[in-house]
Amino acid sequence: MKEKNNIIFYEKKEIIWIFVKGLGILAFIGILFYDSLVAVLLGSPLLIFYCKGELMKLKMKKSEKLEDHFKEALSAVVAALRAGYSVENAFVEAYKDLAYRFGKKDAMVSELLLINRQVKNNTPMEQLLEKFAQNTGSSDIKDFAEIFKIAKRSGGDMGEIMEHTISIITRRIEIKEEIRMLTAAKKYEQNIMNLVPMGIIFYIRMTNPGYFNSLYHNAAGIAVMTAALSVYAAAYYMSEKILAIAC
């Protein structure tokens, strides 16, 4: 399923997996906290929010991957420029390099192929890069497209301008990668902490059947479990927001 005007798309199997995973989590929580399939049915509308959140995370991962491969494409373009290729031919060489490394189905490789084909049909390179930048929504790619357009119009030394611009943008993308690596450990810790409360309740229920019976199928117990689940959900939401800011 493609997003309108966006080269980042979700495969059907990815959407199905997110839905199945969300349904499994909902069933697990419904049984663990309420011991009732009715709770699962009543909580089913929450699947919409879960799926939206997971699709947003998936989109971010795909965007990060696209930016990483865009950085590799820029490095290949610089290498080709230093070897004496024109800007247009440098992008052709970049396509060959990335197709060999990442495969022809890769999003960045597919976009380079499209750009190179349209250049052969006399479509201005700056126009194609600008469209590519708009479709990705990446600020780094937008900056590159804008600088490329200005350099093309000014008629300066394209090779030198391109190398300087690419070095700056590549460094910016590398810094983002470093930040992601630094926060990876914190994300791992967050995932463990998110599982601990559920794990404790599940462990007690499995090792001591009947321990939570007084909290099931009565108004007071439902209220207590709902309050506990609400606190847990709020803590999970806050941890996600904190890490999102850090990234």
Could you report the per-residue pLDDT of 148-174, keeping only the tens digit for each?
888 777 766 667 777 777 788 888 888
Across 43-57, b (16+ Cβ under 10 Å) vs e yields: beeeeeebbeebbee
* Residue 126 near residue 145, CB atoms below 8 Å: yes
- The DSSP code for 211 is T
What pLDDT shows up at residue 4? 40
Per-residue pLDDT at 17: 93
* pLDDT tens, position by position, 120-129: 888 888 888 8
- End-to-end alpha-carbon separation of the chain, Å? 27
What global pTM score does this model have?
Answer: 0.76
233-239 long-range CB contacts below 8 Å, 24 or more apart?
236/194, 239/190, 239/193, 239/194
Over the stretch 24-82, which tens digit does the pLDDT of each residue have? 999 999 888 888 888 888 888 888 988 998 998 888 888 888 888 888 888 888 888 88
Burial class (CB in 10 A: 0-12, 13-18, 19+), 148: buried
* pLDDT for 96: 92
Q: Decide if 40 contacts 31 (C-beta within 8 A).
A: yes
